Structure 1
Amino acid sequence: MLKTKMEELQLNDFQYDLPDDRIARFPLAQRDQSKLLEYRQGKITHRSFFELPDLLPQNSLLVFNDTKVIPARLHFQRSTGAVIELFLLNPVPVDRLVSEAMQDKNRSIWQCMIGNRKRWKPDEVLTKEIRVGDHTIVVRAQWHDPDQSHIRFEWTPGDESFATILHETGKIPLPPYLNRDVTEADKETYQTVYSRIEGAVAAPTAGLHFTPETFERLVQKGIQTNYLTLHVGAGTFQPIKTTDVRQHAMHTEQVVYSRQNLETLVAHTGPVISVGTTSMRSLESLYWFGLRLLKNEPEPFLLDQKYAYSFSEDELPEKHEAFRAVLDHLQQTEQNQVVAHTGIYCLPGYRFRVVNGLVTNFHQPGSTLILLVAAFIGEAWRTIYSAALENDYRFLSYGDSSLLLP
């Protein structure tokens, strides 16, 4: 969807009927036993996920998001008995590395969604006690900037990291559509086996199907793997409320690219397969960050939802030129990673610059993720989703998977 093709897109065109009993509320006992719908150049074949390594094109680069879900849902009880829920969104300031904020000692400031907000008085300090090892820690939460929903957390003794505080008192924030309480098992099953960098409030769920055995098979098949980090935000569940989906305000997420990411992408000449929509958004965003550098634009690592639709095709470089611009920036600034923020919005008409294939679950009707899938494979998304419903696939975060190769 370049600047000459900004056609209206109606939300109703991206809806489908998802019966409640098709939502997978719990995972399978074995991750790689889920179903896998293979869509290859218009043909649909029904597989099992453990077959994935055999189905990937030769010389593929498989790109994963190694973010780790944090126990981002905290509950404090007022003296009246009312419970205030604090749902962590991002550290303050917004450009601060999430992994850095997780190591805070004594205090940490976060933007939050606040449940029961009206009952929390402006000068009221919420407190709770937690046990860490053989000692008690008092955790306090108070308003830091009410207008921005910034909350200051403090704890004494302050020797433990904020990550430790969260793990002792927070709950894993399951998607709201699961409509159930968190279980002890969710602490493990709602993480990918390769999760590493803490900071997400939702899992990159396409990766939940991978097992150590899957990775062994990828090595045997000569499939190269690479890891970047996008911290999935709560905005991923934000419904589209506008009739014309172009008017939806897209959320922004923090993404971290390493020098090794760039070196791998610059050198790679085969297909790039994204594991999940977050990896796809990260890879496509990287192209536009490179373009911003090539054009010497201010704030090159901040991408809004409209930027990718601002150019004619003849104005745009090849992907390796864009990647090289980011790698050159790292070398010139003597950095080993780039911290960026992306609000990229992939709508039908968007031309994908980087990704050739996508491993992904089945998404909610009328969501930004459905729009991304429709942008990638066109109207075939309806045929694929109908086939999945007819063949008893399980949907959403804990559901089955698909391999999309247009």
Structure 2
Amino acid sequence: MRVDLFDFELPEERIALRPAEPRDSARLLVVEPGEPLQDRVVRDLPSLLRQGDVLVFNDTKVIPAQLKGMRKRGEAVAQVEATLHIRVAPDRWQAFMRPGKRIAAGDRIHFGHDGSSCFLGQLDATVLEKGEAGEALLGFDLSGPFLDEALHAFGHIPLPPYIASKRDDDERDRADYQTIYAREEGAVAAPTAGLHFTPELFAALDARGIERRFVTLHVGAGTFLPVKADDTADHKMHAETGS
């Protein structure tokens, strides 16, 4: 299918830079066969379902997977960014590097050098392999829980490109881009449909007899990558992990 069939105009002023408050006040489009489209809000969801219906939620938890660092190669220094997307070992992550042309296998990258911390000088990595389209395998000096703690101290929440182009991430994003039922750390982007649920909405669904089930799918950074192919059949989809 041609990618240009999906083109549509999105006025700049219609791009929300923050989520709706409360979350369940976001707009909801109801599409039923043979019926007119209905413009509702998410808090109306219980009235649209029936007792015994089941909703399936993704309980993945977003980690601060975007890192800013300095690549050092001899005397040459360059600023780079890494967006981690698949953990392959306690001390190794596949990452999308930007700009990818500034890195090569064997490079040392020093992350987390923008403040004082006990991790200063330790959240460093070696580029073990360089792949296509800016992808690389990073081997960190820290491992396991120590690496996780350092990522939480120095990492940034990856924002969708249409938001990141307009503002930097901040502390509020660590809550805004997390569902209320997030439990399993590993995603680098939020399962966005779930962001609209609130404790009050869950209570209303319970009262209606709507059941809940949970799965875990760690949303990867590939969700941020643009589709550059002219046909969807030629677009490379990056793998995600789950259970």
Shift of 1:121: 5.8
Q: Give runs of aligned pairs for residues 288-307 of structure 1, distance below 5 A.
A: none
Q: 1:144 aligned to 2:137?
A: no
Q: 1:190 aligned to 2:174?
A: no
Greater CA deviation, 54-63 or 12-21? 12-21
With over 3 angstroms needed to count, the CA separation of the structure-2 counterparts of 1:254 and 1:24, relative to structure 1, is: same
Q: 1:208 aligned to 2:195?
A: yes
Deviation by residue 1:181-206 (Cα, 9 ceiling, x = unmatched): 10211110011111111111111100
The residue aligned with 2:38 is 45
Shift of 1:21: 1.6
Shift of 1:159: 8.2
TM score, norm. by length of structure 1: 0.52
The residue aligned with 2:97 is 114
Tell me how far apart the structure 1 counterparts of residues 2 and 60 of structure 2 sit (CA, whole Å): 33
With over 3 angstroms needed to count, the CA separation of the structure-2 counterparts of 1:81 and 1:242, relative to structure 1, is: closer
Shift of 1:215: 0.8
The residue aligned with 2:86 is 90
Shift of 1:122: 4.5
Shift of 1:52: 1.0
Tell me how far apart the structure 1 counterparts of residues 227 and 108 of structure 2 sit (CA, whole Å): 35
The residue aligned with 2:156 is 171
* Alignment partner of 2:108 out of 125, 149, 154: 125
With over 3 angstroms needed to count, the CA separation of the structure-2 counterparts of 1:116 and 1:246, relative to structure 1, is: closer
Tell me how far apart the structure 1 counterparts of residues 217 and 223 of structure 2 sit (CA, whole Å): 12
Other structure's SS at 1:239 match:
coil
With over 3 angstroms needed to count, the CA separation of the structure-2 counterparts of 1:109 and 1:187, relative to structure 1, is: same
Shift of 1:246: 2.8
The residue aligned with 1:14 is 6
Structure 1: segments with no counterpart, 5+ residues: 1-8, 93-100, 257-406
With over 3 angstroms needed to count, the CA separation of the structure-2 counterparts of 1:244 and 1:136, relative to structure 1, is: closer
Tell me how far apart the structure 2 counterparts of residues 159 and 145 of structure 1 sit (CA, whole Å): 20
Deviation by residue 1:294-321 (Cα, 9 ceiling, x = unmatched): xxxxxxxxxxxxxxxxxxxxxxxxxxxx
Shift of 1:75: 1.2
With over 3 angstroms needed to count, the CA separation of the structure-2 counterparts of 1:117 and 1:13, relative to structure 1, is: closer
Percentage of identical aligned residues: 41
Deviation by residue 1:104-159 (Cα, 9 ceiling, x = unmatched): 4xxx1111111234444654423356766xx455222112123461110113xx68
- Whose Rg is larger? 1
Deviation by residue 1:332-357 (Cα, 9 ceiling, x = unmatched): xxxxxxxxxxxxxxxxxxxxxxxxxx
Other structure's SS at 1:64 match:
strand
Other structure's SS at 1:16 match:
coil
The residue aligned with 1:233 is 220
Which one has the bigger helix percentage? 1
TM score, norm. by length of structure 2: 0.85
Tell me how far apart the structure 1 counterparts of residues 107 and 241 of structure 2 sit (CA, whole Å): 31
Other structure's SS at 2:10 match:
coil
* Alignment partner of 1:222 out of 209, 213, 226: 209
Deviation by residue 1:247-266 (Cα, 9 ceiling, x = unmatched): 3223322121xxxxxxxxxx
Deviation by residue 1:205-225 (Cα, 9 ceiling, x = unmatched): 001110011111111110000
CA contact (8 A) 2:104 2:130 kept: no
CA contact (8 A) 1:131 1:168 kept: no
Structure 2: segments with no counterpart, 5+ residues: none
Q: Give runs of aligned pairs for residues 324-363 of structure 1, distance below 5 A.
A: none
Runs of 4 or more consecutive aligned structure 1 residues displaced over 6 Å after TM superposition: none
The residue aligned with 1:70 is 63
Tell me how far apart the structure 2 counterparts of residues 136 and 13 of structure 1 sit (CA, whole Å): 48
Tell me how far apart the structure 1 counterparts of residues 234 and 40 of structure 2 sit (CA, whole Å): 37
Report the count of equivalent residues.
Answer: 231
CA-atom RMSD, angstroms? 2.3
